[in-house]
A and B are shown apart, each in its own frame.
Chain A
């Protein structure tokens, strides 16, 4: 049985309409608004409001004991951009982000292609490869600190026994090597995420496409270059986007490895924000640093989305 309902527009026709029987009903537009409203409220309260509050705080000098605020205009930004520590931290953040992501993507791609093959023990290997991603950052940091300990650590001990060094080296106590080992730790922990993402995508690439290409005489490289890679590209871009945001904002791994030291040698922007807010007790400066981070990340995200749209268009 089909019931035909005739409706007429009322004065508030965009949101409500009157049925023929005189009752009101909500329009599709109202329904749509109501459905997204809870999400908008939650995102507004827990994401947008804190960002705006942080941005507003960046224009004040805030007494950490009483939170009394004095408007100082752009002076926090002026001080921040005039401080070499900010620029050095930004540079280290970019190095940390770029280095970890490039290696994560290349190694993750290699591992996912390997685990996509019909190999014995593949399921076990797929499970094991996830292991570093499941371990909490604090456990990884403490373990690596032990491994790298100059007198107790297995790394120094092995190098000494193999004659590669003649005395223990304090890798995390040197400005030239501390960040390198933090980067290695970051790659070790987060590469499995890339593997999961790419492996999932590999499993949905139509097999007949690859078979058709092989029948047409395409080499393995050509299959990879012209079929596998274009299919993977949208996921690679999304993974790049997510990992860039996460690595840029990464705090715990970087901080717990060397506490930002020695001499700020492993201080990235998130670690700097912590230092300014809770150690130097310059809350306004910390808010200014966070605001700059938001701007950088939004710019990077915009760039990635442009790239993603192009990758999707190419695939279609």
Chain B
């Protein structure tokens, strides 16, 4: 008996030690080299009243990726981390992987799923440990830090292979210091869903400005018939994003592109008061409503207008087919400020590749295969209209997709494609409103966590007003004090921080 126990224990110990031993992976480091090229630039000048065009030849030095050190042959396994874990999405992803495997029989791809809320920390743990994180969805708020830390593989060749700037929607991919590190697969484009039948019955035209949307919300609110003018979610996991669209469409923002505080401008208080005025016509309980409740409010006929992205439309055939012919989506009619660019809420979901990956060329090859043509179209079509593609090619494919929904609502799909370039996110683009112009630069305020996150300062400011009935000015002043404190604390902890170079207007 004792001999058996001794033998089993030793065997278990050997297995444990073997299992715990760090796996030795042949890591191919990405080597970069400096290349000097010449560029011809045409310059037009006025010399003594005459227009003179000259061609200047200048030398440009840039860092490019050198050829990989290692020949990538033989069986290779890559991991692909995604938070798109709905069964139809995983099913299509699995089909795409199988198709790739058919032509690349030595390449195996393991799909790892996770949740968006823990995605950043999970990947950060792998990257910081120097592990091979493979292909993964990048956390937008961390993208700059990860690129700076050298965690990400440059993807310029994949970007160019898919079509480069001629194909990609502006602002959809993540670029830093001239190199592309994040390639998008979809975004959600928010708009205002409206019940055209109710508008027609009331003799009101679809709103195009703040005054019109407020008047429509008031006119269409009829609690006796369980109908409310506009549905806006007030819970702490959604509020800030919806309210931010209101600021942006009125030439306002939280910060300048270099981090100077702007939220204390008096126009912000006016915007806040106008926003709160809209919520007077929201269904009871909106104060703790989340994203999904927006859909429920609309498909159950509780709301004449509802702010949401394409998922609401995609749910209609199943949940409210009778509302399909009498619903449409329009741009957010929030503006009461002349000359403001149109901006809506949405954040590009992007893939990146770990710089430490064992097989960089294979990973890039698969990513290019996945993110182009029919493959990406099939993937984005799993929630058609909600997953809006980043390239013109795929956008066009989806507008003409062979499905009943696409045939019935090609106008909705066109709406999403047309407005995808106006998507913005408060935590990812610091000072995106330069005057009344919308300029993205993929640099979020580094101190933004406690301000823009779920349950952050802006969410709580809005809930103070919605739930406790606090006056907008008092809640706003309180939020200003807290935001300034957060920024000051962060700057004190990071004295070496330098403001980013603002994007050109």
Contact = CB atoms under 8 A, between A and B. Distances in A.
B15 to A, nearest CB: 10
B455 A260 contact: yes
A172 B466 CA distance: 13
B235 interface: yes
A177 B146 CA distance: 43
Contacts of A275: 454-455
Contacts of B117: 278-279
Given A65-B146, A66-B146, A174 B284 contact: no
A175 B467 contact: yes
A184 interface: no
B463 A149 contact: no
Nearest to A148: B285
Interface stretch (A33-41, A122-130, A290-298): A33-41
Contacts of B289: 173
Contact of A262 (B141, B288, B449, B456): B288
A63 B223 CA distance: 48
Interface in A166-200: 167-170, 172-175, 178
Contacts, number: 132
A146 to B, nearest CB: 9
Given A67-B124, A262-B463, A278-B121, A172 B285 contact: yes
Contacts of A164: none
Contact of B302 (A25, A37, A152, A175): A152
Nearest to B300: A152
Interface in B138-177: 139, 141-142, 145-146, 149
A261 interface: yes
B455 A279 contact: yes
Contacts of A237: none
Contacts of A178: 288
Contact of A151 (B125, B226, B236): B226
Contact of A280 (B16, B125, B149, B453): B453
A283 B290 CA distance: 25
B460 interface: yes
A26 interface: yes
A149 B290 CA distance: 13
Interface residues of B, number: 52
Interface in A248-287: 258-264, 275, 277-283
A66 B455 contact: no
B52 interface: no
Nearest to A263: B463
A314 interface: no
B25 interface: no
A68 B118 CA distance: 17
Interface residues of A, number: 44
Contact of B284 (A63, A150, A282): A150
A243 interface: no
A141 B117 CA distance: 19
B404 interface: no
B43 interface: no
B455 A168 contact: no
B450 A41 contact: no
B468 interface: yes
A64 interface: yes
Contacts of B302: 151-152
26 contacts: A31-B2, A35-B9, A61-B493, A66-B124, A67-B125, A68-B128, A151-B283, A151-B284, A151-B285, A152-B300, A168-B284, A170-B286, A170-B288, A172-B285, A173-B288, A174-B467, A259-B235, A259-B290, A259-B454, A262-B236, A263-B460, A275-B454, A275-B455, A279-B449, A279-B455, A281-B450
Interface of B: 2, 5-6, 9, 12-13, 16, 117-118, 120-121, 124-125, 127-128, 139, 141-142, 145-146, 149, 223, 226, 228, 234-237, 283-290, 296, 300, 302, 449-450, 453-456, 460, 463-464, 466-468, 493
